A and B are shown apart, each in its own frame.
Chain A
Amino acid sequence: MRAPTIDPRRMPGYHRGRRVALQVGLTAIAVSWLVPVVSAFYASFRSYRGDSLKNGVFSLPERLSFDNYVDAWNRGNIGRAFGNTLFILVPALILTLFFASLVAFACTRFSWRFNVFFLVLFTAGNLMPQQVAFQPLFQIYKRIPWPDILSDTNTGYLLGTKISVVLIHVAFQTGFCAFVLSNYMKTIPKEITEAALVDGASVSRQYFQIILPLTRPALAALGTLLFTWLYNDFFWGSVLLTQADQRPVTSSILVLNGQYTTDYNLIAAASVMIALPTIAVFIALQKHFVGGLTLGSNKG
């Protein structure tokens, strides 16, 4: 069911001329909004030493090529970094949504003493500044032995594995997602589960066969948001992983910051490559973004 369409002519303040002015104004603002991104994009096709440094950054190009992209890919080990990002992102995404829906399910479909307490716990936890938890978390990870079979880096402890990053992401993001999903699940009529209860379905069947399918839109919306947040994470990837070859792609841009030289165009190319996945997901799944952000907010 789509939202009722607004007929602009029947809204207060409608005026033909004003609409034209509005379009023009918005276009101008949109163009200036994009200027930083377009400049970086433009810079990525030029060579630093040969071109930008001599002729100026915004001059017409001597030569346009994909050289910077190839160079950034190799020197920044970006292929490997993407692999690391995936290794962290996919399990974190799935686990977070799974755990959050479990918690939301248990807290909203059943009445028990600590219902609200747990929801409060999770929501407050997500609003915490991450810097506050970092230091002791590091020490905790350092002391948990982790067998090599389960480890991706064989450090002997949980510290230094990408798994440790997955775990902290799940721990943090479950909070917000549980809260949002619980709001959503409250809108699922009790009658549906009531029927199942009467039929003798177990709780786990209720969850997997009734609630989970019904929650799909919310999960999809949250999933797209979560993808962006997890992908763009900068803090945990750089402080928990000391081996450079384990770092996710967003930290890999640092590698291209030379100690002595900053090849501006090279970093521009790396930035474009790093930004592409989130931009692609955003454009393709835009509606879900909007849905995801509002799932928790439209509360009566």
Chain B
Amino acid sequence: MSGKITRSPSPSEVGIPMFTRRNIVVGGSVLSLAALLAACGSDEKSSDPTTAGTAAPSGDSTATTAGGSTETTGAGAPTGDLGEVTLGGIFTDDVPNRAILAAIETTGLDVKLNSVDRDSWVQNFNTYLQQPDDVMGWNAGYRMRAFASKGAVGDVSDVWETIGPEFGEGFKSASTGLDGKQYFIPYTFYPWGIFYRKSLWEEKGYEIPVTWDDFLVLLEKIKTDGLIPIASSNDGGWQQMGWFDMINMRTNGYDFHVSLMGGKESWEDDKVKAVFENWSTVLPYYQENFAARTWQEAATSLGAKESAMFLLGSFLVSNFDPEADPEAQAIIDDIDFFAFPEINPEFGQDAVEAPIDGYMKAKSPKNPEGANALLTAFGGAATIEAGVAIDSSVIAANSAADTSGYTPLQKKSAEFVSAAKYISQFLDRDTDPDFASNVVGAAFSDWLAGGSIDDVLQSVEAQKQTYTFE
């Protein structure tokens, strides 16, 4: 008997039994169990949409499901004749989910919700646009203008004729495409600022810095006091962009910043190098090992009084949940923010970073009238009030919205932004998105990890040449 294998041994020769009844039973029961579970899941399919117009307003809405679809029948005036409108966006978190459901209720429309998590939404938006919902959540700025100029989204100038009076100039220009038409309905916004805990600063005697020199002196003081001066994170590669934006606008002015974002300036320009020089003076005061830390972890250290300040958007407070943690409310009440310090007196503190979120219309929606109705509602005060009442981390863009229910932080944010001369949208929304994350974000990561500034900027400039900016 030779040891050479001359043909494939059949499974039975290597000890695999024939398909036995026992195995069929086990395998079959696994599958049927799964089928049973699936049947339970699909029973959630809710009410027949055509009853929306005829039933008396019963205010019914289905269970909050963060993933997948929810059919909601509004409790407002019967508008069943408009049919079902589909709405897609980032509604998977508990609070934003409840907020959007409350907002939809006020519209009285039959809306089918497609809730996707943030990463999938943003990553797959390009493919999503090939088969979009009627209305979709998105951001203002270059991010919107790029898609608009490619003809990928619908013109909503007609909706703006109705809602226009209730929005400031800054919001309208942020919603306008390069051809002068509007493609975006603003809904909420939130400012970026340097957040801190009031009680900690009082206790240590820190004062809010206004100039860059004051700022550096303060940072040194905090460090000698044994605290972490600046809470830092960069998971996802975008948080550090906030620092670049603010330092750039303070050092070189808002116009230069917009120009640079628009691809019209060279990244090897001395002005850009100056930004990095200024930035490097605060790096020693960063929380260590921040490259993969999430902003939630950094925010937690701020709340725990381990670090003294954190440059982030006002969504920072959503990290503290009063329902789960009794101390959270105390922390939220204790949090305040101040404007990024001035670097160049010529520009002062005139620019503010406040990304605007809102909605766009599909190029060819299945339900055009329904889409327009929903967008008009979103642009109205009543709807946004219902949403903001639940989600207090954002502020209504509509200037007619009632602000009496705002928390102190929300009120301060609203004033802060309305007093600003210039509003920027944040780096990844102000420039080509691919350029932002794959080139600039990566370059920042490289530089922060200790790369040479000249090499990094040269590479950015070279890669920039391969992009077409609108």
- A and B touching (C-beta < 8 Å)? yes
Task: Name A residues whose Cβ lies closer than 8 Å to a Cβ of B.
Answer: 1-3, 47-50, 53-54, 74-86, 90, 138, 142, 155, 157, 159-160, 183-184, 186-187, 216-218, 220-221, 224, 238-239, 242-245, 251-252, 254-262, 277, 280-281, 284-285, 287-288, 290-291, 294-295, 298-300
The answer, yes or no, to whether B116 is at the interface (CB within 8 Å) is yes
Say which residue of A81, A260, A298 sits within 8 Å of B296 (CB atoms).
A260
Q: Which of B9-17, B260-268, B441-449 sits within the interface?
A: B9-17
- What 0/1 pattern do residues 116 to 155 of B give for CB contact below 8 A with A? 1111100010011011100000000000000000000000
Residues from chain A with a CB closer than 8 A to the CB of B325 are 49-50, 53-54
Residues from chain A with a CB closer than 8 A to the CB of B13 are 1, 3
The CA-CA distance from A76 to B41 in the complex, in Å, is 11
Q: A83-B42, A243-B114 are in contact. Are A142 and B90 (CB under 8 A)?
A: no
The CA-CA distance from A3 to B19 in the complex, in Å, is 17
The answer, yes or no, to whether B437 is at the interface (CB within 8 Å) is no
A79 pairs with B18, CB closer than 8 A: no
- What 0/1 pattern do residues 5 to 34 of B give for CB contact below 8 A with A? 111111111111111000100110011001
The CA-CA distance from A252 to B428 in the complex, in Å, is 26
The CA-CA distance from A54 to B324 in the complex, in Å, is 11
The answer, yes or no, to whether B347 is at the interface (CB within 8 Å) is no
The CA-CA distance from A255 to B90 in the complex, in Å, is 10
Selected A-B contacts with CB under 8 Å, 14 pairs: A50-B325, A53-B324, A75-B92, A77-B66, A80-B38, A82-B38, A85-B34, A221-B16, A239-B124, A244-B116, A256-B92, A257-B117, A294-B14, A295-B8
Q: A1-B13, A184-B8, A217-B12 are in contact. Are A245 and B67 (CB under 8 A)?
A: yes
Residues from chain B with a CB closer than 8 A to the CB of A243 are 69, 88, 114
B16 pairs with A138, CB closer than 8 A: no
Q: Could you tell me the distance in whole angstroms from the C-beta of B19 to the nearest C-beta in chain A? A: 5
A217 pairs with B16, CB closer than 8 A: yes
Q: Is the interface of A mostly helix, strand, loop or mixed?
A: helix
Q: A284-B27, A285-B26, A287-B17 are in contact. Are A138 and B35 (CB under 8 A)?
A: no
Q: Which of B169-177, B313-321, B462-470 sits within the interface?
A: B313-321
Q: A187-B10, A257-B119 are in contact. Are A244 and B67 (CB under 8 A)?
A: yes
Residues from chain B with a CB closer than 8 A to the CB of A80 are 38, 41-42, 44, 68
Q: Nearest residue in A to B133 (C-beta to C-beta)?
A: A243
Say which residue of B23, B40, B128, B393 sits within 8 Å of A288 (CB atoms).
B23
Residues from chain B with a CB closer than 8 A to the CB of A239 are 124, 127
The answer, yes or no, to whether B211 is at the interface (CB within 8 Å) is no
The B21-66 residues at the A interface (CB cut-off 8 A) are 23, 26-27, 30-31, 34-35, 37-42, 44, 63-66
Residues from chain A with a CB closer than 8 A to the CB of B37 are 79, 82-83
A255 pairs with B117, CB closer than 8 A: yes
B26 pairs with A77, CB closer than 8 A: no
A217 pairs with B117, CB closer than 8 A: no
- What would 15 more interface pairs be, CB under 8 Å, given A84-B38, A90-B31? A49-B325, A53-B325, A76-B67, A79-B40, A83-B37, A155-B131, A186-B8, A216-B18, A220-B19, A242-B131, A244-B67, A244-B115, A257-B118, A288-B16, A291-B11
The CA-CA distance from A261 to B300 in the complex, in Å, is 11
The answer, yes or no, to whether B306 is at the interface (CB within 8 Å) is no
A259 pairs with B124, CB closer than 8 A: no
A281 pairs with B66, CB closer than 8 A: no
Say which residue of B117, B127, B323 sits within 8 Å of A259 (CB atoms).
B117
The CA-CA distance from A18 to B397 in the complex, in Å, is 74
A295 pairs with B11, CB closer than 8 A: yes
The CA-CA distance from A277 to B34 in the complex, in Å, is 8
The answer, yes or no, to whether B368 is at the interface (CB within 8 Å) is no
Residues from chain B with a CB closer than 8 A to the CB of A79 are 37-38, 40-42, 44
Q: Nearest residue in A to B16 (C-beta to C-beta)?
A: A291
Q: Could you tell me the distance in whole angstroms from the C-beta of B156 to the nearest C-beta in chain A? A: 21
Interface centre among A80, A155, A260, A285, by most chain B C-beta atoms within 10 angstroms, is A260
A244 pairs with B8, CB closer than 8 A: no
The answer, yes or no, to whether B93 is at the interface (CB within 8 Å) is yes
Q: Nearest residue in B to A51 (C-beta to C-beta)?
A: B324
Residues from chain A with a CB closer than 8 A to the CB of B35 are 86
Q: Could you tell me the distance in whole angstroms from the C-beta of A279 to the nearest C-beta in chain B? A: 10
A86 pairs with B130, CB closer than 8 A: no
Q: Could you tell me the distance in whole angstroms from the C-beta of B270 to the nearest C-beta in chain A? A: 38
The answer, yes or no, to whether B4 is at the interface (CB within 8 Å) is yes
A86 pairs with B66, CB closer than 8 A: no
The answer, yes or no, to whether B83 is at the interface (CB within 8 Å) is no
B34 pairs with A75, CB closer than 8 A: no
Residues from chain B with a CB closer than 8 A to the CB of A224 are 27
B296 pairs with A262, CB closer than 8 A: yes
The answer, yes or no, to whether B96 is at the interface (CB within 8 Å) is yes
Q: Could you tell me the distance in whole angstroms from the C-beta of B68 to the nearest C-beta in chain A? A: 3
A260 pairs with B93, CB closer than 8 A: yes
B4 pairs with A300, CB closer than 8 A: yes
Chain A to chain B: the 3 pairs with minimum beta-carbon distance, closest first: A79-B41, A49-B324, A83-B38
Q: A1-B13, A259-B92, A300-B7 are in contact. Are A217 and B39 (CB under 8 A)?
A: no
Q: Nearest residue in B to A224 (C-beta to C-beta)?
A: B27
The CA-CA distance from A254 to B19 in the complex, in Å, is 37
A258 pairs with B92, CB closer than 8 A: yes
Q: Could you tell me the distance in whole angstroms from the C-beta of A262 to the nearest C-beta in chain B? A: 7
The answer, yes or no, to whether B294 is at the interface (CB within 8 Å) is yes
B38 pairs with A86, CB closer than 8 A: yes
The CA-CA distance from A212 to B279 in the complex, in Å, is 70
B8 pairs with A183, CB closer than 8 A: yes
Q: Nearest residue in B to A74 (C-beta to C-beta)?
A: B65
Q: Could you tell me the distance in whole angstroms from the C-beta of A157 to the nearest C-beta in chain B? A: 8
Q: Could you tell me the distance in whole angstroms from the C-beta of B160 to the nearest C-beta in chain A? A: 27
The CA-CA distance from A86 to B33 in the complex, in Å, is 11
The CA-CA distance from A216 to B19 in the complex, in Å, is 7
A77 pairs with B8, CB closer than 8 A: no
Residues from chain A with a CB closer than 8 A to the CB of B321 are 49, 261
Say which residue of B11, B68, B96, B115 sits within 8 Å of A217 (CB atoms).
B11
The CA-CA distance from A77 to B97 in the complex, in Å, is 14
